[in-house]
Chain A
Amino acid sequence: MPILDTALKVGLNHYLYLSAILFAIGMLGILIRRNVIVILMCIELMLNAVNVSFIAFSRYNENLNGQIMVFFVMTVAAAEAAVGLALAVTIFKKFREVNIRFFEHLKG
């Protein structure tokens, strides 16, 4: 079937679809989960989804700037995870709570 063959032939679109789906999964996770550490993991998933589209565009346009952007995104995401977890652990040690609802009470 020529139509199916064209649809199945992997191009830029397929990578962007995958990226969009992963991003939506990450967003849904942030909305429905209660545990703050799982929410941090979902943020990592969303950042990864964005990285996929960066790399796909970089390959499509034969332009390596996208890869450097991903390098920076990864670095900042790792730093964000480190600080986020340090915060979560500090709050957990003090209040024994990881529910995201609880964090609303931390207003000054």
Chain B
Amino acid sequence: MLTVNDFLFYLLAAVTFLSGAGVILARNPIHCAFMLVVSMIGIAGIFVTLDAYFIAAVQMIVYAGAVMVLFVMVLMLFDLKHELKAFSKGAISGVLKLLSTGVLLGMLLAYIGYTFSVDPSFKPVPADPQHAMETTKEISSLLFTRYVFGFEVIGVLLLVIAIGAVTLSRISGGTHADS
């Protein structure tokens, strides 16, 4: 008998898998981007089933709400209708690519199946809404004690990116893109 949690996992996994497959199969890049948005939201749901509420919200805000908006805006800005060939050419190389990905996937699945078959079930957690906030506070105190150096490095990285991205978009002149 499936519990609610199991049902949610299978539902979200199906959504994530199908939209993930859509990302690589859709011909129009805009469709790829919207498929990826659905995939990101599905993964945020997966995080919630794993009790990572804050990370799920960050996933929504950063990935679905910021990164993918940038992707969609760039694709709309450079209206790529003229790009007809979505996939790379070559039958032999195509077979090789599929084969190598299949081998990798098979190895990963077999490894997971053999290694983590001891007791893969999760320990139960309290189903109390307060629990999510407690976890968030624990994450936060870890972030600002053990990982405080990484946190500051992220600050530096973001500063560098902010300067670099603006400088990059400046070169080759002109503030307007031909569409």
Taking a contact as CB atoms under 8 Å apart, the answer to whether B86 and A55 are in contact is no
1/0 per position for B134-155, CB-CB distance to A under 8 A?
0100110011001100100010
Instruction: Give the docked Cα–Cα distance between A98 and B86 (Å).
Output: 11
Instruction: Give the docked Cα–Cα distance between A81 and B73 (Å).
Output: 13
**Nearest CB in chain B: distance from A58 CB, A:** 7
Cβ of B132 under 8 Å from chain A:
no
- Please classify how large the interface on chain A is, using the bins under 10, 10 to 19, 20 to 34, 35 or more: 35 or more
- Given A14-B13, A16-B112, A32–B88 Cβ distance below 8 Å? yes
Q: Is the interface of B mostly helix, strand, loop or mixed?
A: helix
Instruction: Give the docked Cα–Cα distance between A85 and B33 (Å).
Output: 13
- Given A9-B121, A14-B13, A59-B52, A68–B147 Cβ distance below 8 Å? yes
Give the residue of A22, A27, A34, A89 whose beta carbon is less than 8 angstroms from that of B74. A89
Closest to A47 in B: B63
Taking a contact as CB atoms under 8 Å apart, the answer to whether A26 and B74 are in contact is no
- Please classify how large the interface on chain B is, using the bins under 10, 10 to 19, 20 to 34, 35 or more: 35 or more
Taking a contact as CB atoms under 8 Å apart, the answer to whether A45 and B101 are in contact is no
> How many residue-residue contacts, CB under 8 A, span A and B?
223
Instruction: Give the docked Cα–Cα distance between A28 and B17 (Å).
Output: 13
Instruction: Give the docked Cα–Cα distance between A103 and B153 (Å).
Output: 31
1/0 per position for A1-37, CB-CB distance to B under 8 A?
0000100111111111110111111111101111101
Taking a contact as CB atoms under 8 Å apart, the answer to whether B161 and A62 are in contact is no
**Nearest CB in chain B: distance from A76 CB, A:** 7
1/0 per position for B14-56, CB-CB distance to A under 8 A?
0011001101100001001100100110010011001110110
Give the residue of A22, A58, A96 whose beta carbon is less than 8 angstroms from that of B52. A58
Give the residue of A15, A21, A45, A75 whose beta carbon is less than 8 angstroms from that of B23. A45
Taking a contact as CB atoms under 8 Å apart, the answer to whether A42 and B63 are in contact is no
**Nearest CB in chain A: distance from B23 CB, A:** 6
Cβ of B1 under 8 Å from chain A:
yes
Give the residue of A5, A25, A33, A75 whose beta carbon is less than 8 angstroms from that of B21. A25
Interface residues of A in 66-98 (CB under 8 A from B): 67-68, 70-72, 74-79, 81-83, 85-90, 92-94, 96, 98
Taking a contact as CB atoms under 8 Å apart, the answer to whether B52 and A25 are in contact is no
Closest 9 CB pairs of A and B: A11-B120, A29-B24, A20-B108, A24-B105, A31-B97, A12-B120, A86-B168, A28-B101, A59-B50
26 A-B residue pairs with Cβ-Cβ distance under 8 Å, sorted by A, are: A8-B2, A10-B9, A10-B10, A12-B121, A22-B20, A22-B39, A24-B102, A24-B105, A28-B98, A32-B87, A38-B32, A44-B36, A44-B67, A59-B51, A65-B142, A67-B54, A67-B55, A72-B154, A75-B62, A82-B161, A83-B161, A86-B165, A86-B168, A87-B168, A89-B74, A96-B178
